[in-house]
Structure 1
């Protein structure tokens, strides 16, 4: 690895580089992210065959794709991929990537702007008792993806939370619905080299509403991190949750993929779904990437960032 490709600034081990949404309403979803959330469209095109193979989703080859970024240009992206509708898919009811948590500048102003848009608010902005670090809001997009749009107020005791550099900014936590919370935690820790953070038991409105549970029903979640950098929130989902339905050979609908920086791919203990390859474009910047599948079939796209001392 050359010195010019070493991890610097935003790009580092554990950093969420992108979230990919698979949507059957590509044109209107793209307009929602561009015009309502204010993201900038950087690239449009189709999914190359080798990239679809890397995702273990060969049917996605040739699908329309768009790469967007916050106007702050900080190095985080959101990618839309056109996909067929999936009968039986319901947001927040199945295992896999459940939501992308994004920092925003003014959650109350954003809530007003979402009125009449393609995003459905499932949790209006409000302060949560016991959590003084951010003001959350939850929405569902046209593709069945869930976004947590959170205005960060201050850091947590063991985690640094990013202040927004633009009205809608970086994905800073990936929320994962797990069938076996402990197994998924062990996978992220032992196979991907992430660290275990805090574990909480909370009344989780998104889960309780989706499954018709009492408002005071508590769910267990554990954070994973790298140092003080948050990475994922692993939620133990109820017994009524199901495997994510998906089209044959295609991507999971809604929140489909998380792209994660890793220092070196040869340190990843999970088997790669396809050989690593260097890829062009703003997301990859010529770096090597490869994918692995987690315990519930969730796809992690790992992008090699390098580390100080590599040559």
Structure 2
């Protein structure tokens, strides 16, 4: 690659759904993403994620119409009994930059997306206007209209109605331990921390209105990457089917400059991968401190 992505850039996310055809109708027909690949999930790719039991399941890959190099992959798996979004550790949500956020509830009406947080401005966070939806697999998607950059990071305006994932949200067992892991293992930077009334967390755990949570951003210089959230003591590990992808928001793919610079243990050795996402680069997967799966693509060698 002659113009490789910046270290830490989000290159995609995997979401699990019980109904791939229905989810494709939602992601293509309502979010307006373009289908670029579809078929059975390759066995070697599933094994590299530590999820060999997901091999051969129906999957599809989509990208925004802007052409941004960021892909959402959908994998059809049975629902996991007892899984409830926003109550377990791991990847909690993918944030997409969009246009006209106040028009999205009407656009999604009658689809498989359920609006659980209508568009609203957040006190103390004037940088974007978010809304939250759940997909058919209880994956959480934030649709955020960017208003301005933060003092410490650059937030992307959308170049199509729905554009790329620009922040991923981690429900952490220990917020600062997770921040330290991403700093030392993946060589990323600690950004700003914010204290706010986090309505999604409060609703999920039955917390009284006004309950405050702390979130910390992780980035590379001014590139935002992760939001790491404090979670209540009632949160649990995410249930999953044996040797299969976790339900909901299952895996995040990040670009890294060089595997040699990282302090990580890969689930399986890195291998060369091709196609629209990998583009002939080495890739391997690690597990983060809250059980989250992180696929890393080494993009800095070309």
TM-score, normalization: structure 2? 0.98
Whether 1:294 and 2:294 are equivalent positions in the alignment is: no
Aligned pair partner of 2:65 in 71, 81, 93: 71
The corresponding residue for 1:206 is 200
When residues 214 and 176 of structure 1 are mapped into structure 2, their CA distance, relative to the original with a 3 A threshold, is same
For the residue of structure 1 that corresponds to 2:73, the secondary structure is strand
SS at match of 2:260: helix
- 3-state SS of 1:137 partner: strand
Corresponding residue for 1:55? 49
* Residue 215 of structure 1: how far off its partner (Å): 1.7
Compute the RMSD of aligned alpha carbons.
1.0
Structure 1 residue 143 corresponds to structure 2 residue 137? yes
How many residues are paired up? 302
**Equivalent of 1:111 in 105, 108, 122:** 105
Deviations 1:92-132 (A, max 9, x none): 11000000011001101122111121111111001122222
Q: Which residue of 1 aligns with 2:127?
A: 133
CA distance in 1, matches of 2:232, 2:2: 42
Partner of 1:176: 170
Deviation at 1:6, TM superposition (A): 4.5
Contact 1:140 1:146 in 2 (8 A): yes
* Secondary structure in 2 matching 1:297: coil
Q: Which runs of 4+ in 1 moved over 2 A?
A: 5-8
1:87 aligned counterpart, secondary structure? coil
Structure 2 unaligned regions, length at least 5: none
* Offset, 1:176: 0.2
Query: In 2, are the aligned partners of 1:23 and 1:29 still within 8 Å (CA)?
Result: yes
In 2, the alpha carbon distance for the partners of 1:281 and 1:17 equals 13
**Distance in 1 of aligned mates of 2:87 and 2:115:** 17
Structure 1 distance, partners of 2:52, 2:2, is 31
1:192 to 177, 186, 195: 186
How far apart, CA to CA, are the structure 1 residues paired with 2:218 and 2:162? 23
CA distance in 1, matches of 2:255, 2:239: 27
1:6–1:305: 8 Å Cα contact kept in structure 2?
no
What residue number does 1:238 align with?
232
Query: Is 1:253–2:247 an aligned residue pair?
Result: yes
Quote the Cα distance in structure 1 between the aligned partners of 2:73 and 2:210: 35
Q: CA deviation at 1:45?
A: 1.1
Instruction: State the 1:56 CA deviation.
Output: 0.3
Structure 2: distance between partners of 1:171 and 1:46: 24
The 2-side partners of 1:228 and 1:12 are apart by 11
**Structure 1: how far apart are the matches of 2:173 and 2:145?**
29
Q: Deviations over 1:18-70 (max 9, x none)?
A: 01101112111111101011100000011111111110000011011101011
SS in 2 for 1:214: coil
Q: Report the 3-state secondary structure (helix = DSSP H, G, I; strand = E; otherwise coil) of the residue aligned with 2:159.
A: coil
